[in-house]
Amino acid sequence: MKILVLGSGAREHAIVSALAREDTAHEIVAAPGNAGIAQVATVVHLDPNNAVVVADYALAEDVDLVVIGPEAPLVAGVADGLRTRGVPVFGPSKKAAALEGSKAFAKRIMEEAGVPTGRATRAGTRAEVEAALDSFGAPYVVKADGLAAGKGVLVTEDRAAALAHADHYLQQGTVLLEEFLAGQEVSLFFLSDGSTVLPLSPAQDYKRLLDGDEGPNTGGMGAYSPLPWLPDGFVDEVIDTIAEPTVRQLANEQTPFIGLLYCGLILTEKGIRVIEFNARFGDPETQVVLPRLETPLSGLLLAAATGSLGGIPRPTFSDDVAVTVVLASEGYPDAPQTGRRIDGLDDAAAVEGVSIAHAATSRSESPDGGTIATGGRVLSVVGRGSDFRQARERAYEAVSRIRLEGAQYRTDIAARVVAE
């Protein structure tokens, strides 16, 4: 197949890499891509958020399947522009992508579908925020209603900080105040063709910047998969109580969800609860889930895009484990320093069991070439092994070989699961 992958991050690099390693050779194109993606796919410079431009390109170049990676093109309706012109696309419509684009919409869908989640109140004024904070009590959970690049959620014991966070996002619209849920968090992806769902392997990510879950929220500083501590029957329970009811509810509202349903879950004392839905592969969880995938990814994505997931067996995964450590620029997440050179990538990739997914990189225009950092989260360094200790050691050995001035990363990714 000729496959166009939209996006420029480590998630898209992981998707491209999974497609490229299949036994069947595909022609893979990425837009706009990055320095790492350019090593395994053709990179074209077009605006992934412009539905007309993307559809024109896909038709002119006889693209068989378009895979939308980030949330912004989904919320912009790029999938709609492709579908109306007959191009198979993996990614939900603009209306269905509101499951991620609007926390309030997601809460309504969960309520209608009977999906277990925490109590929430929508607020549009400072007074409403204050009343909700007092009602729920500490720890306070404040969420931006719209997209916020993974940084719109604040969980804090500090009421003043909660109010400041709400004030910031009230300038853009409404906010959600939610009850605090305690427990282990789980990310579980589902492929959906609008009626059938198929699960991928669970993962856990680390949102806070610093070790010990300290510091500000980020887009994700690391992840691991699988989760050996999950109870038996966990995935089936999520299918029965969360994924299928959600997809059915959207279908009943004439808003079929076609693409990747990301379930952000938490295991509380009262059972599984939904923290949030996303409408695309998660980052950095994709970097540890897809390397373990044994079923060809291209067939799964095309089946979802064409409404033919029914009857397809559940995807299978390697018994290996994977750990990814995100290398971020100095100043991330508030004011990342960009334009700095990255060295040691070949040495890092030479570590056994290691692969590197580029997140925000480009080729330097200087005479000696090289790779430079262009954003906050720069690289996802993935270690695979027969157990968590080996995978983790490989990932951190590779990280130690990479040189980026001011780079920061967590040192405790998967440390707990190794200790246990």
HSE, side-chain direction, 13 A CA sphere, residue 30: 27
Q: Would you list the DSSP string of 209-269?
A: EEGGGEEEE-S-SEEEE--TTSPTTHHHHHIIIIIHHHHHHHHHTT---EEEEEEEEEEET
What pLDDT score was predicted for residue 162?
Answer: 92
pLDDT band for position 149 (50/70/90)? low
Instruction: Provide mean pLDDT across the span 19-46.
Output: 97
Q: Does domain 182-305 have CATH number 1.10.150.170?
A: no
CATH topology classification for 2-94: Rossmann fold (3.40.50)
Q: Give per-residue pLDDT as tens, 295-324.
A: 999 999 999 999 999 989 999 999 999 999
DSSP category for residue 317: B
* Chain CA centroid to CA 159, Å: 29
Same topology for domains 182-305 and 321-419, yes or no? Answer: no
Residue 193's nearest CA partner among 83, 335, 358 is 83
CA distance 140 to 162: 7
The residue ranges of DSSP E strands in 124-183, in sequence order, are 140-144, 153-156, 175-178
Where does residue 340 rank: exposed (0-12), middle (13-18), buried (19+ CB within 10 A)? middle
pTM of the predicted model as reported, rounded to 2 decimal places: 0.93
- Position 152 scores a pLDDT of 77
Record: fold of 121-178: Dna Ligase; domain 1 (3.30.1490)
Identify whether the C-beta of residue 224 lies closer than 8 Å to the C-beta of residue 321: yes
pLDDT digits (tens, 9 = 90+) for 76-108: 999 999 999 999 999 999 999 999 988 889 999
pLDDT band at 150 (very low <50, low <70, confident <90, very high): low
By the 8 A CB rule, do 218 and 227 touch? no
**Structure-model confidence comparison of residues 251 and 150, the more confident one:** 251
Task: Give per-residue pLDDT as tens, 283-299.
Answer: 999 999 999 999 999 99
Percent of the chain with pLDDT over 90: 86
pLDDT digits over 337-347, tens only?
A: 999 999 999 99
Q: How does pLDDT run across 189-209, given as a tens digit for each residue?
A: 999 999 999 999 999 999 999
Query: CATH topology for 321-419?
Result: Glycinamide Ribonucleotide Synthetase; Chain A, domain 4 (3.90.600)
**Extents of the domains making up the chain:** 2-94, 121-178, 182-305, 321-419
